[in-house]
Amino acid sequence: MKIGKIELKHGLFLAPMAGVSDAAFRRVCKKYGAEMVCTEMISSRALCYNDRKTKELAVIADDERPCALQIFGNDPEIMAKAAVLALEFAPDAIDINMGCPAPKIAGNGDGSALMKKPGLAYEIVKRVKEALGGKNVPLTVKIRSGWDEKSKNAPEIASLCEKAGADAITIHGRTKDQMYSPPADLDIIREVKKSVSVPVIANGNIYDAKSALEMFGYTNCDGIMIGRAALGNPYVFKEIACALDGKDYKKPPRHVVVADIKEHITALVELKGEFVGVREARKHVAWYLKGMPGAPVFRNQVNAATSLKEIKTIIDKAFN
């Protein structure tokens, strides 16, 4: 698939996840086949206010590319200004968040709340596209199936976004009210695909090769975006790529997993310092441990650890 000048063999995307998809996580997913990644969502207002922590979220390393930078907000003028400011970080694409269901986001009129205001959604995309001008940076939009079951208007919103200048649409097949359950609605994703001519990336309920192939086959989507299924399992991208290529997939041996975990959490500490990095590493290690014998015991030990060295020792014991 192709988005602007970006060409992807399979169309395998890592979803932007607040507090999770930082540079350390993006790199390990890229290592195992995520073809395009995305920053954590960035407040357009905070970016315009030159907030230091916000700018740190926007940094993109060369070994992560192609990487999109995602912004959120509900003011067309501020969103347009933020998109231009974001170009300082040389993103490969700008993504507009119209899908986040978190109360603190949607409750402020941002994220999935824009699904309730088609006119405003159109105006935001239009203004951002105009602001980007001839920068040759693709503009993508991430939406949900709708606000609630009674207002599943994703095809309408997608069509408006395309009309306003979006180069691709990502559709999460659940409403804002549904958050992350029940199963995603593949029919609404298929309708979105039919309603636009730009590439459509499907999101929701993709957790292995089988579900990925079903999503591609049923919806005719151009790409798929994986979020929670990659937590503790960046290998899911390689599994799906192998299936799409008609090749057999073998899970990585334990020593490789151990090396990957250590590389991941070391990068976290280098990125955020030991105090913050260790505390954020805890949840990632817990995800890697999921389903393993003795996982609860090792998880408790990790949660009590206060240094990178301690966590690495626990990892060695857990995977011995």
pLDDT 10s digits, 269-281: 999 999 999 999 9
Give the residue among 132, 65, 55 at the shortest CA–CA distance from 96: 132
Q: Which residue in 67, 100, 161, 221 is the catalytic one?
A: 100
Q: What CATH architecture does domain 2-245 belong to?
A: Alpha-Beta Barrel (3.20)
pLDDT at 295: 95
The better pLDDT of the pair 181, 200 is held by 200
Mean pLDDT over 194-207 rounds to: 97
Mean of the per-residue pLDDT values of the chain: 97
Q: Could you tell me the two tokens for 207?
A: 């957790």
Q: Using pLDDT thresholds of 50, 70 and 90, give the confidence band for residue 38.
A: very high
pLDDT at 135: 84
Q: Say yes or no: do domains 2-245 and 254-318 share a fold.
A: no
Q: Is the dihedral of CA 182, 183, 187, 193 positive or negative?
A: positive
Mean pLDDT over 258-268 rounds to: 98
Cα–Cα distance, 290 to 292 (Å, whole number) = 6
Strands of the chain, DSSP E: 2-3, 6-7, 12-14, 37-38, 42-43, 67-72, 93-98, 139-146, 168-175, 200-203, 223-226
Q: Using pLDDT thresholds of 50, 70 and 90, give the confidence band for residue 320.
A: confident
pLDDT at 246: 97
Task: Check pLDDT > 90 for residue 12.
Answer: yes
pLDDT tens per residue across span 74-94: 999 999 999 999 999 999 999
Concerning whether 67 is annotated as a catalytic residue, the answer is no
pLDDT at 303: 96
Spans of all domains in the chain: 2-245, 254-318
Q: What percent of the chain shows pLDDT beyond 70?
A: 100
pLDDT tens per residue across span 210-234: 999 999 999 999 999 999 999 999 9
Q: Domain spanning 254-318 has what CATH number?
A: 1.10.1200
Identity (one letter) of the amino acid at 142? K
Task: Check pLDDT > 90 for residue 100.
Answer: yes
